[in-house]
Structure 1
Amino acid sequence: MLLVQSFSGAQSIAQLICVILLFFFVLFLAYMAARIAGSYQSNVMNKKSNIRVIEVYRLSNNKLIEIVKIGEKYLAIAVGKDEVTLLTELDVDEIVMHEASIEPINFKRILDKMKNEKQDKE
């Protein structure tokens, strides 16, 4: 009787391990599918397109001014809820390209800061 119970317990543990491994395998497949789809969309939208949005400035909730590059021309357009209006064509010399200066988030630094704040309160 004791032998039968230990066998079913070992079988339950084996099933649990199989389910956990299967979960991580499916999670890995979903991650890889998302990466492949994201890189495909990024390549299609950015590298193989003649139209690029350079800058966007929001005037109100549904009104924007955009600088777009179409081919080799830069255009300033106004975008509203139901309309797009050409404002002017810009020279290449008038465009100031800003480099993205977003630094990656350092989780360790944030965690250390929170620990220090907690210790200061105590």
Structure 2
Amino acid sequence: MVLLEISSGWESFFQLIGILLVFIVVLAATYVVTKWIAEYQQGVTADKNIHVIETFRVSSNKFIQIIQVGKKYLAVSVCKDTMDVLAELTEEQLTWLPSMEEKKESPVNGSFQEILENLKKKIPRK
């Protein structure tokens, strides 16, 4: 009877270890696939002819964006269902243009750890 209880305890322990290993493998696979998809998406959209220079939120679902299409700069309004060109801008009319290094260092391209550290700096502790 005691021997049966001991083996049952060990079986439960090994089942727990097995479940934890499966969980860790699934978590690692999820991480690897997510990183792969992010790199693929970044490669698809990188170094193309369209770049968003700046975005300004007017209301919850309305934005004004300055975008670069080829060598032209456009001010566009982006709403829930529509996108309209407001004006064509010249490079001289823009007060600031990001350099290629600044585009690469944007928080969107940063790691999760960098974004988390920036948020920690902005949010005061009690």
TM-score greater than 0.5 by the shorter chain: yes
Counterpart CA distance in 2 for 1:78 and 1:106 is: 29
Distance 1:63 1:13, change over 3 A: closer
Provide closer, same or farther for how the CA distance between residues 53 and 8 of structure 1 changes in structure 2, counting only shifts above 3 A: same
Q: Does residue 65 in structure 1 map to residue 43 in structure 2?
A: no
- In 2: Cα distance, 1:5 partner to 1:32 partner: 41
| 1:68-111 Cα shifts (integer Å, max 9, x gaps) | 1101211112334444332222222332135578775279989x
List 4+ stretches of structure 1 deviating above 4 A. 98-104, 106-110
Indicate the residue corresponding to 1:30 in structure 2: 30
Code of the aligned partner of 1:22? V
Instruction: Provide the secondary structure at the position in 1 that maps to 2:53.
Output: strand
Three-state SS of the structure 1 residue aligned to 2:77 is strand
**Inter-CA distance 83–10: structure 2 relative to 1 (3 Å threshold):** closer
Counterparts of 1:17 and 1:4, CA distance in 2: 20
Identity over aligned pairs, percent: 38
What are the ranges of 5 or more consecutive residues in structure 2 without an aligned counterpart? 108-113
Letter in 2 for 1:11: E
- CA distance change for structure 1 residues 61 and 24 in 2, over 3 Å: closer, same or farther? closer
Closer, same or farther in 2 for the Cα pair 1:17/1:49, shift >3 Å?
same
**Partner AA of 1:59 in structure 2:** V
Change (3 A) 1:37 1:8: same
Partner Cα distance (2:6, 2:58) in 1: 71
Matches within 5 A, 1:86-105: 86-95=85-94, 96-97=96-97, 105=117
Gaps of 5+ in 1: 118-122
- Choose 1 or 2 for highest CA Rg: 1
TM-score (norm 2): 0.68
Summarize the Cα distance change of 1:90–1:30 in structure 2 as closer, same or farther, 3 Å threshold.
Answer: same
